[in-house]
């Protein structure tokens, strides 16, 4: 055997591009349609616009990092077939279920275990550990569930609105605030999720971690502090953005604030944030230098790179056996087929006409009357189409009074399709967004006309002198889920049964002058809703309650 054959045995040679071509075709079959849908959906919105950028940067970083490890002699070919197969299987299962049931975080996130599994199959555990940051970085591309975003975003929106209001007041502008709605001059601005800081928080956190990984500061304390400081930096940058948008709207009008200059304000956010990150990093370095000098110590040196030791040949760097590649590609195609087979196709629609055409103006002891009171909207944003912020196809708000002069406000909101990220949101979200504080939450359990039990919730909403007890329930398909998690499980269960569920929010509220009247108001609303359900049951069965 020649010296060349001794140094480079035949089994180390790549079997050619066919293996990786098969894997690439399998990945394309899975993720090209998914990513196109994401780009036309959540990735196309301001909330998750960072998703495709993070994906591209992570993939480029992964390739560059593999070559860096090869040049440093740190690439080892010790395949882990069992661990790799389990990770790929997990990713394929997550993709099939996520794609079929529109669980976006499972659908997009499934790429991570699949890539981890491929690395394990080709290189093994040690090399996979050295590539951990690339896979961790990909987590920032995964769209969070809307219910999680609502929980995390609401306090951020309130905080940004509060800070922007007080900053504008300090600058002597005519500004007022109700929840996340800022009034400046004759204009009103809604601080939406995109302006709340959560999306930019994830983006800036991802960029900050990438920056620290590339710079490789030797100080763990410095890295940790910089990562934590990105949270207040994001909050500050978003406050600046809202203030700039408010001033643009005040001086140039609503069209300018919502048009091109809105996007410019978004760019301003990142310029401000990046400037603050660089400034804080410089400040932390200056503090570290001063502390080191004060103690008579030298600054920690950068870690010494290991000298290259017998790096893999170029043809062995990406070697993948053809049978393994064929199995991977076959599994990917099976996952695509399973996603299509599990996707629900049977629609279940209980309402075909607008509410205004069939909702009775009189029923039982109740009759519709004009009301001077403005109801809290069931939508978080007006005029946005059917999105996560506005998931409804039809809404109506009316006020009814009985023979004793007692008033109840009714709101109905209907959606033909309930999906994991575009579904009915609980009224608590809308009330808090419009400036109310909530208290006295309690479960609702009442009897319908046919004897079935209606499960829902009650709470007391306050805004200034206004006190509003609220009773509501939601129907999704053939269930009455209580809470966001229950709603998600209901949609998933019905989707796995092949059904696309519709949904309706039924909300009744009334005004009281004293908290002691809360229980009487809840009793009044319960009687009203029982009469309404009985009146609608005859011609619209299955609308308010499961059939």
Handedness of CA 496, 499, 502, 503 (dihedral sign): negative
Catalytic residue among 195, 398, 458, 488: 195
The pLDDT assigned to 149 comes to 65
d(CA 282, CA 275) in angstroms, rounded, equals: 11
Sheet of 181-184: strands edge to edge?
175-178, 181-184, 187-190
Residue-level pLDDT, tens digit, the chain, 547 residues:
444 444 444 444 444 578 889 999 999 999 999 999 988 877 876 667 778 878 888 888 888 888 888 777 777 778 888 999 999 999 999 999 999 988 888 999 999 999 999 999 988 888 888 888 888 888 888 887 766 666 666 677 778 888 888 888 898 888 888 767 788 887 777 666 545 555 556 666 676 777 667 666 666 677 777 777 777 877 787 788 788 888 888 888 777 666 655 555 555 666 666 677 777 777 877 877 777 676 665 555 555 444 444 444 544 556 678 888 899 999 999 999 999 998 888 777 778 889 989 999 999 899 999 877 778 777 655 444 455 556 788 899 999 999 999 999 999 999 888 877 667 888 888 887 777 888 888 999 988 877 888 999 999 999 888 899 999 999 998 889 988 788 888 888 888 888 888 889 999 999 998 888 899 999 999 999 999 999 998 888 888 888 7
The pLDDT assigned to 2 comes to 45
SS3 172: coil
Q: What is the pLDDT of residues 43-80, one digit of tens each?
A: 876 667 778 878 888 888 888 888 888 777 777 778 88
Cα 215 → chain centroid? 30
Strands 466-476 and 366-369: unpaired
The tokens of 79 are what? 């395949």
∠ CA 230-167-233, nearest 5°, is 5
The pLDDT assigned to 12 comes to 45
321 is catalytic: no
Distances (CA, A) of 312 to 80, 81, 114: 18, 20, 24
For 77, phi then psi, to 5°, come to -100, 85
Three-state SS sequence of 122-133: HCCHHHHHHCHH
The pLDDT assigned to 379 comes to 67
Strands 175-178 and 181-184: antiparallel
The pLDDT assigned to 202 comes to 67
The pLDDT assigned to 9 comes to 45
Catalytic residue among 70, 241, 398, 488: 241
Nearest to 184 by CA among 237, 241, 236, 242: 242
SS3 69: helix
Helices 198-215 and 260-294: crossing angle, nearest 10°?
40
242-248 LR contacts (CB < 8 Å, sep 24+):
242/160, 242/161, 242/164, 242/182, 242/189, 242/191, 242/195, 243/164, 243/167, 243/168, 244/268, 245/189, 245/195, 246/164, 246/168, 246/173, 246/175, 246/182, 246/184, 246/189, 247/168, 247/173
Q: Any bridge partners for residue 442, and if so which? A: 458
d(CA 347, CA 204) in angstroms, rounded, equals: 41
d(CA 487, CA 505) in angstroms, rounded, equals: 12
Tokens 């010296």 — which residue?
A: 3
504, 412 in Cβ contact below 8 A? yes
Nearest to 362 by CA among 411, 414, 403: 403
d(CA 522, CA 167) in angstroms, rounded, equals: 40
129 is catalytic: no
∠ CA 265-46-114, nearest 5°, is 140
Q: What is the pLDDT of residues 151-205, one digit of tens each?
A: 666 677 778 888 888 888 898 888 888 767 788 887 777 666 545 555 556 666 6
SS3 439: strand
d(CA 392, CA 351) in angstroms, rounded, equals: 13
């Amino acid at each position: 055997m020649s010296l060349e054959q001794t140094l480079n045995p035949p089994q180390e040679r790549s079997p050619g591009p066919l293996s990786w071509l098969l894997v690439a075709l399998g990945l394309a079959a899975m993720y090209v349609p998914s990513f196109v849908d994401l780009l036309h959906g959540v990735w196309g919105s301001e909330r998750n616009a960072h998703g495709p950028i993070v994906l591209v940067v992570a993939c480029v970083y992964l390739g560059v990092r593999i070559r860096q490890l090869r040049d440093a002699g740190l690439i080892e070919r010790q395949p882990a077939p069992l661990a790799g197969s389990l990770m790929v299987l997990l990713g394929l299962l997550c993709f099939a279920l996520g794609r079929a049931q529109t669980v976006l975080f499972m659908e997009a996130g499934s790429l991570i275990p699949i890539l981890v599994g491929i690395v394990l199959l080709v290189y093994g555990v040690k090399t996979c550990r050295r590539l951990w940051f690339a896979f961790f970085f990909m987590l920032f591309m995964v769209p969070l569930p809307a219910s999680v975003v609502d929980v995390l975003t609401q306090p951020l929106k309130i905080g940004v609105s509060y800070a922007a209001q007080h900053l504008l007041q300090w600058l002597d502008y005519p500004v007022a605030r109700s929840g996340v709605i800022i009034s400046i001059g004759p204009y009103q601005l809604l601080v939406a999720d995109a302006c709340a800081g959560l999306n930019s928080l994830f983006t800036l956190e991802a960029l900050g971690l990438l920056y620290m990984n590339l710079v490789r500061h030797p100080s763990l304390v410095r890295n940790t502090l910089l990562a934590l400081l990105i949270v207040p930096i994001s909050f500050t940058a978003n406050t600046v953005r809202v203030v700039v948008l408010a001033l643009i709207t005040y001086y140039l009008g609503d069209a300018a604030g919502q048009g091109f200059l809105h996007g410019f304000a978004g760019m301003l956010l990142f310029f401000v944030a990046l400037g603050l990150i660089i400034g804080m990093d410089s400040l932390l370095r200056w503090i570290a230098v001063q502390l080191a000098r004060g103690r008579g110590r030298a600054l920690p040196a950068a870690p010494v790179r290991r000298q290259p030791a017998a790096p893999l040949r170029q043809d062995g760097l990406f070697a993948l056996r053809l049978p393994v590649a064929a199995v991977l590609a076959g599994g990917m195609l099976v996952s695509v087929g399973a996603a299509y087979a599990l996707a629900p196709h049977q629609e279940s629609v209980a309402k075909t006409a607008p509410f205004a055409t069939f909702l009775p103006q009189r029923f039982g002891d109740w009759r519709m009357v004009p009301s001077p009171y403005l109801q809290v909207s069931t939508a978080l944003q007006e005029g946005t189409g059917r999105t996560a912020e506005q998931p409804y196809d039809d809404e109506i708000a009316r006020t009814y009074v009985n023979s004793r002069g007692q008033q109840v406000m009714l709101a109905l909101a209907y959606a033909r399709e309930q999906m994991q990220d575009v579904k009915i949101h609980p009224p608590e979200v809308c009330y808090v967004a419009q400036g109310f504080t909530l208290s006295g939450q309690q479960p609702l359990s009442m009897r319908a006309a046919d004897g079935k039990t209606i499960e829902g919730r009650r709470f007391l909403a306050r805004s200034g002198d206004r006190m509003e007890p609220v009773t509501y329930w939601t129907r999704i398909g053939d269930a009455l889920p209580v809470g966001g998690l229950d709603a998600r499980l209901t949609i998933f269960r019905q989707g796995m049964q092949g059904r696309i569920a519709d949904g309706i929010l039924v909300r009744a509220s009334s005004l009281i002058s004293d908290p002691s009247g809360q229980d009487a108001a809840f009793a009044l609303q319960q009687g009203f809703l029982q009469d309404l359900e009985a009146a609608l049951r005859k011609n619209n069965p299955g609308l308010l309650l499961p059939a």
